[in-house]
Amino acid sequence: MSQANPSVLIAKPSIEVVPGQIIYHRKTNTGEYIGSPSIAILPDGAYVASHDVFGPGTTEHSSGVSFVYRSEDCGVTWRNVARIEPAFWSNLFVHTGALYLFGTTHHHGLVVIRRSDDGGFTWTQPKDECSGLLTAKGHFHTGPMPMLMHRERIWRAVENAGDGGAWGERYLPMLMSSPVDADLLCSESWTCTRPMAHSTTWLGGAFVGMLEGNAVLTPAGAVGNLLRVACPDGEKAALAVLSADGAELKFSPDSGFVDLPGGAAKFTVRYDAESGRYWTLSNWVPPRYEGSGNASLVRNTLALLCSANLRDWELRAVVLHHPDAKRHGFQYVDWLADGDDLVAVSRTGHDDAWGGALKAHDANYLTFHRVSRFRTLTPGDSSVSVDELKTPAL
């Protein structure tokens, strides 16, 4: 089900052609939608991708289901190698030669981690506190977010979802961490910061919540958490910093909010040592689409951004775009640098022979994309005129 030519830099919108390589497709009438895309590169050079399924045709609220795929030819073709249950809102990562999957058991479930020693074909099962069950009780929220290695510890951002409440408002950011040489499947290896409270009075009363945080190392050398911010206008992120004693995240509503195009939807941030910049692929909401709905659900434009300091973000290129925002989206993109290129997987809502995606959010594809020579791109490299996108619709 893959399409040829993965080296295309930027895909022009087309009704007939889905951009990138199709890893997996699911018909909308199944009530199963593609979520939580993640990607890892194994020591032998193989690419591994994963996703879960959500929607009325799934068991997401009781037992999440995720799937793992491998590519032996740098993303040209893919094959399914594993079905994992319970697993939801999870990310792949490689550590000391092994492949791991970190996430929850289901929607607002427990935090779990798995290990594969054969490149994704077989996985451990989190049965207890010694085999990957990291939280014995509670409710948690996350997404396919990156791991951070710093000072001999591995860090991961999650949100405590409490015992209920409104979406966004109930999510309290926290960081989990473990010594890098510890057994990551053992719950005793992991420590958690206290959940960070927030207030709906922030942003002049427009603040709804912060979620899907990225564990980052700030330019000052502190461990931080850069989060998506839910607010009507979007385009904001929030930067919280770990306290000196490591017990909690500190956040100032006066200085902690960051202008980040696409900050209303999930984004993955990673630091690239070669360029000395932080990079992300985000769902920028161009002025042309402002007012077309909740900013967090306008996901038809995927922009490559970079920053030297996590606060000032520069739009380098529009990587993917479709003129329709209601039923087309390139979202929740996870990515890695691979030499001069950036490789990514997307939860993609697009056309198909069965009526296409019901709406952009309810994606019907998992797709793979390669952005060649990403460090050198400029807005002029976009296949869509950035200036036109910046022109408000009449």
Decide if 11 is inside a domain.
no
Decide if 343 is inside a domain.
yes
Higher pLDDT, 51 or 16: 51
Residue 386 and residue 318 in contact, taking contact as beta carbons nearer than 8 Å: yes
Q: What gap in Å lies between CA 158 and CA 147, rounded to an integer? A: 11
Decide if 7 is inside a domain.
no
Tens digit of pLDDT for each residue in 97-147? 999 999 999 999 999 999 999 999 999 999 999 999 999 999 999 999 999
Q: What gap in Å lies between CA 257 and CA 119, rounded to an integer? A: 39
Tens digit of pLDDT for each residue in 369-384? 999 999 999 999 998 9
Tell me what pLDDT residue 394 has.
Answer: 63
Tens digit of pLDDT for each residue in 328-371? 999 999 999 999 999 999 999 999 999 999 999 999 999 999 99
Residue 177 and residue 191 in contact, taking contact as beta carbons nearer than 8 Å: yes
- Structural domain boundaries, residue 161: 21-389
Tell me what pLDDT residue 291 has.
Answer: 81
Residue 288 and residue 393 in contact, taking contact as beta carbons nearer than 8 Å: yes
First to last CA, the chain: 40
Rounded alpha-carbon distances, angstroms, from residue 93 to 30, 64, 362: 30, 19, 25
Question: ω before 86 within 30° of 0 (cis)?
Answer: yes
- Which of the residue ranges 4-13, 200-209, 211-220, 317-326 would you say has the lowest mean pLDDT? 4-13
Decide if 16 is inside a domain.
no
pLDDT higher than 50, residue 10: no
Decide if 5 is inside a domain.
no
Q: What is the CATH number of the domain that holds 258?
A: 2.120.10.10
Q: How many CA atoms lie within 13 A of 141 on its CB side?
A: 24
Task: Name the 3-class secondary structure at 376.
Answer: helix
Among 324, 341, 320, 340, smallest CA distance to 332 is for 320
Task: Give the percent of the chain with pLDDT over 70.
Answer: 96
Decide if 10 is inside a domain.
no
* CB-count exposure of residue 21 (10 Å: 0-12, 13-18, 19+): buried
Question: Total domain count for the chain?
Answer: 1
Task: Name the 3-class secondary structure at 348.
Answer: strand
Tens digit of pLDDT for each residue in 74-89? 999 999 999 999 999 9
Decide if 9 is inside a domain.
no
